[in-house]
Amino acid sequence: MDALKILGVAAKASAEEIRAAYLLKVREHPPEQSPEEFERIRDAYETLRDPRRRAREMFLAADPSEPLVSLIAGERAPRRFVGPHPWMEVLKGK
Amino acid sequence: MTPKPQRSGPILDAPASATETSIRQLIANGKSKAALDSAKDHHKAEKTGASETLLVEAYAARIRSLLDQNLVVEAKSLLDLVGERFPSAKGRLEELRLLSAARGGSVEELLRPLLDPGLSADQRAAIEAAVQNQVHDLAALAACAALPAEHSLRRAAAALQTALIAVTSGPVAEAALSLPEVSHRSPLAPWKLLVRAIACYYRGEDDACREYLNAIQPDAAAARLIPAMQAMSGIKTHGPLTPAARLLAGQTAGNLAALRSALDRLDRTFDGDKPGAILAAVQVSVKECREIFPAKIDRLKQLVSVRCALIGLDRERVSKALGGPAKRDAAFLRLYARGMEQSDDPEELAVACGAWDEFRQFAVKEGWFKANGSEAAELYLHMARVLQKIPGNFLPQIRNSILSRMRGASREDFYFLFPEKLYERACAIDPHFEAFSQWLAWAKQGNGAERVAEAWHRIRPMDLEPVLFLMEQTAQRQAFQTALQYLDKAERIDGLHPSVRQARLRLLTGNVLKHLQQKKPHLAAQRLEEIQALPQSQQGDRPAMLAALRWLICAGQNDQPGITAAAAETELLLQSRVAAELLVYGAAVVSKRNTAMLLRSSSAISPPERTQIPAALARVVALVRDMQGMNLNLPLAYLDEAAGQIPRNSALDTAQLQILGEAGVCAGHGELAYAASTAGLQQGSLTEPSFLLLRAQALPSWLGERRAVCAAAAVELARKQQDQHVLEKAVQILHNFAPGGLSLNPGHVDEVVRKEKETSAFPTQRDSGPDYSGLIERCDCPACRRKRGQAVEPWEEEDEELDDIEMDQILDELELPPDMPPEVAAALLLEAAKAVESGETLDDLFERISGKRRKKGRRR
């Protein structure tokens, strides 16, 4: 279980950030609607709220043998700033 | 969007002719060119006021159509032409003039009337509608010379223009989007919504973006961006996008497909073994990442850098392919350390610990955790666990090698290569149970475990484990006084703990035996009184043990009546003379008072008494184990007798057989253990795992294959019955006799059980028992095949030959005769190695090398 990934927090997240992320995830996956997901979220939170277990998670979170594609897994392509010109061209109705 | 031409009301009083109706129908259908041509013909023929009005209507429809097609110049020329030809229609064409001015960017012309004090409300509304729906050039509006600089429209347009440039050029703060210059009633209000929608789009807040877009009036000029932005946010649009909208969508919305494909390819090249291909794929991936996802470039470089380091690629070449070295920060070092610690190479494991130490320093600097926080302590423990993966003799070598290379470096500089230093640091920062437990477990493998337990007990006095450990250690040294002091502490911590409850009886018994050993029967007697006062000493067979001790004390005091009384009491309690004698004999041996009790020889025992030997032996062994926690030294003749009696004695239960078997294993008496296992295997399937394990333990070591098969069968059965105790012991035997592992299917397990049950005789060289060669997968290496007498081809030998480096190492260590050239020594060594491999005798080797027969009697 990668608790950091499940809660979507960085390895060096503070206790407050972890709690905030947990509450947000519970709102997204309430136990009555998705009990299994809630269980995972709860387990991840239990791991991260214990400083020692959190530390262990932190050390083990890095995996150099993970496929490189996982670097962008679940990521949305970043939106590029292209300046006003292409936008204005659309406004001109061309 | 320009509204479709509305059908005009009746122009003539007379009913409309069919031609007029047709022309109006064409206008209504949007066919303005055909309508205009027909209207021209109709007016040429009629030349009436009505036909002129209809012609002007057709012109107006045509001008609108041209404006809709963005043909502003053509529309304006036609408008001017109609104005000149039909001056009376000028008022009716005013709206089209505003529309044309707005579309053509002639904002001065459009806005000038706003300064006219006589401008009607309708005219103002028309101008504002044109500004809202037609003007797309905010810069022109902001710079409109027809209005004063402080005019609200100019100020709003300027603010919007600045905001539009900002949101399309980079991230903006929320304050930049408040735009107080643009009121919600302004004709430019839709632009404010558009600017906010664009800001939300770049922030990835798609829901908010959609809400802003939905709030824009569909006719507004700003609404022209809605289809493009919907497409960019992944929403399906109605109808095709304009070329400009497609271009915008392509430029702003990134596509990860190319990057994903490059990373996939790089992963695949890592699986291969071609550095050139890897570095080429690295270059492509870095380029794609830099273009498509620049925020990930540092992480990618770190990942690639570590992966390349793990496969030993040249650092300079990798750095060049990456376009510069990867950023060295805590994240990088953690990745590197994780990679290194997964290796089996002792040196790489040591490097991993060095990397973890560097990670710790960076992580503290970067604010991941505090230098003395529990995370740091956990990291020290993790590093210690990594060091434990290094085989014992390698770690000192690595440390010495590093310290000799790094002149001036101290042990403290390389603390991360010393498990004890890591544990010390961890426990100093965060002295918790698991940390000390881990430290003690490590220390038990070498020296210093007591020191660790003492440190643990000092810092956490209420933890039971160090106290129990110290108690056991001191008891083993026969320092019973100290052991009893630790027991007092343990009883205060957790008096109900099973180990604590059993300990007092055991320690006191041990103390009695020690006093007897030291020839201090009076002290032994005192301790015995203490034992007798314990309620648990009166349970089961324990009173018999007390009587036996009393027997020995009396013997030490030369108290003959006491001896007689104690002997009678022991025999009475055990209801067996043989058992009583064995018990006293065992206790006498433990207390090194062997002369106190001389056992009868087995031949002096009557046949009926002999049948009692196995049961007596089992009972005494169990009792001594219970009270003293140690194994009994038993006379060989009695063990032989027990081994012979077991097959004839069906009254023994599984517990007795188990005890007898274990006693046989401890005493190295395979026949007894074997006989117990044979009888045990007949007792039913529930006890099969433990008696198969006993069979594996009982077999002589030269029957390694049979031992391994019995242990493997015990493993399978124990797993099925969830018998952890048997499982662990059987796995250990399996590991010793079949390091490569051996697993049996259920059919094979049944076969093993059946054959072992049938083989009741202890194996001899002549009859070694069942043959399990069919169940064992044999090693196919040349050496093993040769041992089995199978053919080995010459080319298969290559890998086994000593390489130059190994040869040099061996020659360095050998003391060669002073006149022997190293080349000759190397050749001789090689030949000797071949001789060992092939099983060649020394004489044959001598003859092969020298060409002479070796003289007899000179062999050493």
Tokens of B92: 């009716």
Flag whether pLDDT at A3 surpasses 90.
no
H helix or E strand, kind and range, residue B99: helix B94-103
Flag whether pLDDT at B52 surpasses 50.
yes
Mean pLDDT value across residues B376-387: 95
Q: What percent of chain B has pLDDT over 90?
A: 40
> Chain A to chain B, count of Cβ pairs less than 8 Å apart?
158
Best of B2, B70, B136 to substitute, by most chain A Cβ atoms within 10 angstroms, is B136
pLDDT given for residue B98 in this prediction:
77
Mean pLDDT value across residues B567-577: 92
Greatest alpha-carbon span in chain B: 161
Q: A65–B339: do the CB atoms touch at under 8 Å?
A: yes
**Pairwise CA distance, residues B14 & B282, whole Å:** 85
pLDDT given for residue B45 in this prediction:
87
Mean pLDDT value across residues B421-429: 95
Q: B295 and chain A: CB distance < 8 Å anywhere?
A: yes
Which among A52, A64, A77 is the nearest to B255, CB-wise?
A: A77
Which among B251, B266, B369 is the nearest to A80, CB-wise?
A: B251
pLDDT given for residue B9 in this prediction:
40
Which among A61, A65, A79 is the nearest to B201, CB-wise?
A: A79
Q: What is the ipTM of this complex?
A: 0.80
Q: What residues of B are in contact with residue A58 (Cβ under 8 Å)?
A: 368, 375
Mean pLDDT value across residues B600-611: 83
For chain A, the average pLDDT equals 87
pTM score of the predicted model: 0.64
Name every residue in A having a CB less than 8 A away from some CB of B: 11-12, 51-52, 54-56, 58-65, 67-69, 71-72, 75-84, 86-94
- Write the pLDDT tens digit of every residue in B337-370: 999 999 889 999 999 999 999 999 999 999 888 9
Which B residues in the span 701-740 are in contact with A, Cβ-Cβ below 8 Å? none
pLDDT given for residue B130 in this prediction:
85
pLDDT given for residue B800 in this prediction:
47
Q: B244–A90: do the CB atoms touch at under 8 Å?
A: yes
For chain B, the average pLDDT equals 85
Residue B686: how many CB atoms within 10 A of its CB? 11
Instruction: Report residue B841's pLDDT band, with 50, 70 and 90 as the boundaries.
Output: low
CA of A90, closest CA in chain B: separation in Å? 5
- Write the pLDDT tens digit of every residue in B482-541: 999 999 999 999 989 988 988 998 899 989 989 988 989 999 999 999 999 988 889 889
**3-state DSSP assignment of residue B860:** coil
Mean pLDDT value across residues B612-638: 83
- Determine the length of chain A: 94
Mean pLDDT value across residues B70-97: 81
- Residue B188 near residue A91 (C-beta atoms within 8 A): no
- Residue B480 near residue B487 (C-beta atoms within 8 A): no
Tokens 């000038």 correspond to B112
Most confident of B24-28, B40-44, B459-463, B772-776: B459-463
Q: What residues of A are in contact with residue B70 (Cβ under 8 Å)?
A: 92-94
Instruction: Report residue B436's pLDDT band, with 50, 70 and 90 as the boundaries.
Output: very high
Mean pLDDT value across residues B770-792: 66
Q: What residues of B are in contact with residue A71 (Cβ under 8 Å)?
A: 263, 296, 299-300, 303
Flag whether pLDDT at B851 surpasses 70.
no
Flag whether pLDDT at B376 surpasses 80.
yes
Q: B304 and chain A: CB distance < 8 Å anywhere?
A: yes
Flag whether pLDDT at B778 surpasses 80.
no
**Pairwise CA distance, residues B521 & B523, whole Å:** 5
Q: A91–B222: do the CB atoms touch at under 8 Å?
A: yes
- Residue B553 near residue B528 (C-beta atoms within 8 A): yes
Flag whether pLDDT at B641 surpasses 70.
yes
pLDDT given for residue B354 in this prediction:
95
Q: B339–A64: do the CB atoms touch at under 8 Å?
A: yes
- Residue B782 near residue B796 (C-beta atoms within 8 A): yes
Flag whether pLDDT at B812 surpasses 80.
no
Torsion of CA B573, B577, B579, B582, to 10 degrees: 120
- Write the pLDDT tens digit of every residue in B279-300: 999 999 999 999 888 889 999 9
- Write the pLDDT tens digit of every residue in B382-423: 999 999 999 878 898 998 888 888 777 777 889 999 999 999
B575: left (phi over 0), alpha (psi -120 to 50) or beta: left
Tokens of B153: 């429209």
pLDDT given for residue B602 in this prediction:
73
Q: A52–B244: do the CB atoms touch at under 8 Å?
A: no
Q: What residues does A79 pair with on adjacent strands?
A: B253
CA of A77, closest CA in chain B: separation in Å? 5
Q: B753 and chain A: CB distance < 8 Å anywhere?
A: no
CA proximity to A11, closest of B290, B384, B338, B301: B338
Mean pLDDT value across residues B450-456: 95
Which among A58, A61, A71 is the nearest to B263, CB-wise?
A: A71
**Pairwise CA distance, residues B14 & B528, whole Å:** 142
Flag whether pLDDT at B789 surpasses 70.
no
Which amino acid would we find at residue B750? Answer: D
What are the percentages of helix, strand and coil residues in chain A, rounded to 5? 60, 0, 40
CA proximity to B664, closest of B685, B682, B688, B646: B646
> Where is average pLDDT lowest: A15-24, B3-12, B637-646?
B3-12
Flag whether pLDDT at B855 surpasses 60.
no
Q: B338–A93: do the CB atoms touch at under 8 Å?
A: no
- Write the pLDDT tens digit of every residue in B238-291: 778 888 998 998 888 777 888 999 999 999 999 887 889 999 999 999 999 998
Residue B584: how many CB atoms within 10 A of its CB? 29
- Residue B57 near residue B36 (C-beta atoms within 8 A): no
Q: A52–B378: do the CB atoms touch at under 8 Å?
A: yes
Flag whether pLDDT at B620 surpasses 50.
yes
Flag whether pLDDT at B6 surpasses 50.
no
Instruction: Report residue B796's pLDDT band, with 50, 70 and 90 as the boundaries.
Output: low
Q: What residues of A are in contact with residue B201 (Cβ under 8 Å)?
A: 79
Instruction: Report residue B217's pLDDT band, with 50, 70 and 90 as the boundaries.
Output: very high
Q: B336 and chain A: CB distance < 8 Å anywhere?
A: yes
Q: A93–B136: do the CB atoms touch at under 8 Å?
A: yes
Q: What residues of B are in contact with residue A67 (Cβ under 8 Å)?
A: 263-264, 267
pLDDT given for residue B7 in this prediction:
40
Q: B260–A91: do the CB atoms touch at under 8 Å?
A: no
**Pairwise CA distance, residues B765 & B758, whole Å:** 18
